Amino acid sequence: MDIGTTPVGIVDFELATSHFVFDLAHLAAQQGIDVNKYHVGLRQERFSMPALDEDAVTVGAAAASRLLARTGTEQIRTLIFATESSVDQSKSAGTFLHTLLQLPQHIRVFETKQACYAGTAALQLALALVARNPRERVLVIMSDIARYERNTAGEPTQGAGAAALIVGANPNILEISPISGVWTGNVHDFWRPNDRSTPLVNGALSLETYLRSFTACWNDYREQGGAEASDIDYFVHHQPFTKMAVKAHERFVRTHKLENGSEMIEPSLRYTPIIGNSYTASMYVGLASLLHSSNALAGKRVGLFSYGSGATAEFFTAQIVPGYEKFLHAADFQQQLHSRVPLTFEEYVALHDAHERTGLTDYENPQVTCAPFRFAGVREGVRQYEARTNEEA
Ligand code: COA
């Protein structure tokens, strides 16, 4: 039986990040440690941090609104919102976006969850829906605020970011192969119980499981009929911190005796060092980094490794479509990165503390963000979101 006869994949995409940025040099100075632990050991320099009137909904909406301004909403009959920074236990974050983005009434909206893997779960679902009916398009939004407790090992690996993708038939940017290698294990490497705003983490176990699951996914991918290692031109890994992707790739390169190992991964590593972890969006931020790195990638095959603690992982491949470069908007995203407002150490600590709102019922947020949407606060238990007017934006 033939699988995947209609080419399906990414028609267009956009990224967004948050209002503030924090430099890890400030953290290292306060801790009295060598900043190279972060710059070299983790390969992280800075991380994005949301203003009090930003959350996963507003950052995701910002990415999606820029995308829909180009593509329109025609043919979109599904919105899948992937996040592990969920704002409600029942109501999908996507339903807030239904209003903010003025999406059509006849659309299904839901949220996916499996730590950082939830973005790839959403993408794979979207591909399946499009393969079933190539006239439909799916809007996939991956958006997260990676917030760890202060004075823990995870603190330097915080961050914030979103990716919004239009998934459809005959894509302009990336054609995604139906062959995947998958793996799941019931592991407690990183999890966030319902009563906590920050995760519990066993860092060493998360590194080990990430590496172990990459090998397992690769073996399964090959058993399913996937390409040989030497037929893959570039690799993009989930990037909880940049060095994690490098570690996994270096091991793979050694095992498969590949030449030009670093050239295969370095183009995907330009954004995470200055954004930090963006959980569900992280691998897609890496993919954008690769696509933004050159106009000469048409026809190249990319290996994509997605990992979500807890733990589920998937390896799959995609081919870059000729003419893809005409659909990229790298300068817009780079401008967003440059426009972030830097935080001093004291401001960072105050903002980190202020984001701890577990137990609060109704509150109003100060107006800070310059993004297209803001989280105004909670009134009678209902989260209030606002589109900023043209004069404010
Ligand atoms: N110069 C250069 N490198 C240095 C250094 C220095 N002065 N000081 C330390 N390093 C290196 C260490 O050797 C280590 O590198 P290695 O792993 O290649 O040996 C690296 O910096 C990190 O140091 P380590 O002591 O292991 O860090 P840590 O225990 O403080 O925590 C994480 C690191 C990643 C475990 C922690 O940030 C974390 O828990 N993050 C959240 C979970 C996560 O992201 N998991 C990933 C999979 S999802």
For ligand 1, atom 22, name the residue with the nearest CA.
41
**Nearest alpha carbon to residue 351 among 147, 52, 55, 86:** 52
**Nearest alpha carbon to residue 38 among 22, 16, 17, 19:** 22
Residue 116 pLDDT: 98
Residue 4 pLDDT: 55
Q: Please give the helix or strand (H or E) that residue 216 lies within, else none.
A: helix 203-223
Q: Please give the helix or strand (H or E) that residue 209 lies within, else none.
A: helix 203-223
For ligand 1, atom 3, name the residue with the nearest CA.
41
Compute the distance from residue 204 Cα to the ligand 1 centre, in Å: 9
* Catalytic-residue membership of 84: yes
Q: CA quadruple 334, 336, 339, 342: dihedral positive or negative?
A: negative
Q: What is the pTM of this model?
A: 0.97
List per-block mean pLDDT (blocks of 10 residues) for the chain, which spans 393 residues. 76 98 98 98 98 98 97 96 96 97 97 98 98 97 98 98 98 98 98 94 97 98 97 98 98 94 97 98 98 98 98 98 97 96 98 89 94 96 88 56
Q: Do residues 46 and 96 touch, judged by C-beta distance below 8 A?
A: no
* Catalytic-residue membership of 217: no
Alpha-helix runs per DSSP H in 298-363? 330-339, 345-354
Cis before 311 (ω within 30): yes
Distance CA 161, CA 289 (A): 13
The amino acid at residue 26 is H
**Nearest alpha carbon to residue 180 among 257, 127, 140:** 127
* 36 Cα nearest atom in ligand 1: 1
Residue 169 pLDDT: 97
For ligand 1, atom 21, name the residue with the nearest CA.
41
Compute the distance from residue 35 Cα to the ligand 1 centre, in Å: 12
Strands (E), the chain: 8-16, 20-23, 46-49, 76-82, 108-112, 137-146, 159-169, 174-184, 190-191, 200-201, 234-237, 301-308, 312-320, 341-343, 363-364, 373-379, 382-387
Residue 214 pLDDT: 98
Tokens linked to 66: 């820029």
- Which whole-number Å values give the CA distances from 246 to 41, 239, 241, 261, 265, in the listed order? 11, 9, 9, 10, 8
Q: CA quadruple 149, 155, 157, 162: dihedral positive or negative?
A: positive
Residues whose beta carbon lies within 6 Å of some atom of ligand 1: 34, 36-37, 40-42, 153-154, 156-157, 190, 201, 203, 206-207, 210, 240-241, 244, 309
| Residue whose tokens read 């238990």 | 381
The amino acid at residue 130 is V
Distance CA 164, CA 10 (A): 10
Compute the distance from residue 20 Cα to the ligand 1 centre, in Å: 24
Q: Which of 14, 45, 84, 175 is catalytic?
A: 84
* Catalytic-residue membership of 238: yes
**Nearest alpha carbon to residue 211 among 258, 244, 260, 257:** 244
